[in-house]
Amino acid sequence: MQSTKPYFIRALHEWCVDQGFTPYLAVAVDETTRVPMEFVKNGEIVFNVGLEATNQLLIDNDAISFQGRFGGKVFPVLIPIGRVSAIYARENSEGMAFEITESNIEEPSAPTKLGRGLASVDMTTDANTESSGQIPTQTQVDRAETSKPSSGDSPAPAPTRPTLTRIK
């Protein structure tokens, strides 16, 4: 069965763009991710994946790919969906956190599809654009605690909406 994770990522990206927010993508870096390693901190990197900050953005079911500028040089980025830890709006931190999973995607030799990105402009990471200069190193999903015990025939409590908490 296909994972719902890429669908949530695409939906939240579209929501951010529609609201005029800047979509940020937090990624847990490993050997399957192709990112500029000099910008990785504590095994994580945060990207601005707004349409103005990326070129050829493609959020596929297996991976996210785009071209971005880092230090004035174009760098092709490839992120397996399983390595995405969160997507959120920079302005209000609304978004969704995900579990990190191992991925078995093979790196394509050449891009086969083009995303809906605009012309390449300066790509920045959270550390360079955030006024506090801090990159979240851990995500936390808040879950509501119920005070009443659940009985065998009562329905399970409705899941709460996860939120992203930045830890300094």
pLDDT of residue 98 exceeding 90: yes
Q: In the numeric block, which tokens belong to residue 51?
A: 């349409």
Which of 80-89, 126-135, 151-160 is the least confident region? Answer: 126-135
- What number of other Cβ atoms are within 10 A of residue 130's Cβ? 17
pLDDT, residue 66, reads 97
d(CA 168, CA 166): 6
Is residue 97 classed as helix, strand or coil in its secondary structure?
strand
pLDDT, residue 163, reads 54
Q: In the numeric block, which tokens belong to residue 39?
A: 């910008």
User: Could you state, in order of their start, the residue ranges of all structural domains in the chain?
Assistant: 5-129
pLDDT, residue 46, reads 95
Residue type, 51: L
Domain 5-129, CATH homologous superfamily name and number? SspB-like (2.30.30.220)
Local confidence band at 166 (pLDDT 50, 70, 90 cut-offs): low
pLDDT, residue 119, reads 28
pLDDT of residue 36 exceeding 50: yes
- Which of 100, 7, 111 is CA-nearest to residue 55? 111
